[in-house]
Structure 1
């Protein structure tokens, strides 16, 4: 049951994110049917100070299905794209743990169902809210 659902979800994701999904190359350089990554381009808040002209940040969500998915959570990781320019309000390496923890409730709420699209949506919202909070804090002269 789990593998059929994984294949079906991957087909749906391919249709939703046709250019964002790429095969994930592990350190063994094997391509797996159960492992892939999604490029998530973020939409930062309107800029009027230090981040004007900065390239919108992108993060890579690595997804690996365990055998029992969707009854078991997918194995997730985040990384920046290779040679990504730094963004003044977002850093994948600095924000990674906070963002992954922020997905815990969504994962628990969606166990038993295909959830990667929901996880991408939640991840995007979390990352963009983090940038908004930092922008607002900077406007108040604070540092987050």
Structure 2
């Protein structure tokens, strides 16, 4: 005849020696106790923990003990459900033998697996953020690519602004009683001085510098062939802007 009480006392003494810092007796009739189980630390020191409560039944170990999750730290609800399912499976496999150590060991391994999963999730999240940052940097570096279409749109707008500038300048000169200047001379006179290369390659000297755009230099390949002689005295902004013109 099995002496259940004796087997339970012997196991309790063994468990207390194995887990001296995490074992606590809650009651003696029925025998009830807790064991705190903590996972190994993850890469960044993260851990998960649970305190298991066991209660002996009269015919333990021929019948499984009662158990519950007494407390937990950093575990999700799905994790606690998995632990309870694991305890049930291990108890059924070990009926007839004292099993507390086996149950606790199985839970310890489960907690370590949970920490590994947490680590993998953190690494995936880190990689995702790094990829997003790289994509954002790539977009910022490339900026707006200059195409025939957007250059011509800019050119049309620029020409309208220059025409308005010339009209305004001519009006001011007429009101001041000065000779009427040609469109070219107006653009290069007084405060309206514009370098030739700025007029012809505004994306290279202005927009590209301020917006990190990629410029199609073929759009400007014929600049050197244009009939603009900066050495011509008439091209001198100072002479153009003088009253002697």
Please, what TM-score do these two structures have when normalized by structure 1? 0.74
Shift of 1:113: 0.5
| Residue 93 to residue 23, structure 1, CA distance change in 2 (3 Å) | farther
Coordinate RMSD, CA, aligned? 2.2
Look up the match of 2:204.
none
Look up the match of 2:114.
130
Residues 79, 93 of structure 1: 8 Å contact kept: no
Residues 36, 51 of structure 2: 8 Å contact kept: yes
Look up the match of 1:22.
24
Bigger proportion of residues as strand: 1
Residues 68, 84 of structure 2: 8 Å contact kept: yes
CA distance in 2, matches of 1:101, 1:10: 24
1:1-144 alignment to 2 at 5 Å?
Answer: 1-24=3-26, 31-33=27-29, 34-47=31-44, 54=46, 56-80=47-71, 90-91=74-75, 95-141=79-125
Greater length-normalized contact order (CA 8 Å, ≥ 6 residues apart): 1
Q: Per-residue CA shift, 1:50-85, capped at 9, x if unaligned? A: xx5x5x33321100011110011111111326xxxx
Secondary structure, in 3 states, of the residue corresponding to 1:13?
helix
Residues 48, 115 of structure 2: 8 Å contact kept: no
Shift of 1:125: 0.4
Gapped regions of structure 2 (runs ≥ 5): 126-245
Secondary structure, in 3 states, of the residue corresponding to 1:44?
coil
CA distance in 2, matches of 1:110, 1:96: 21
Gapped regions of structure 1 (runs ≥ 5): 25-30
Bigger proportion of residues as helix: 2
Please, what TM-score do these two structures have when normalized by structure 2? 0.46
CA distance in 1, matches of 2:52, 2:76: 10
Aligned residues: 123
Secondary structure, in 3 states, of the residue corresponding to 2:20?
coil
Residues 38, 111 of structure 2: 8 Å contact kept: no
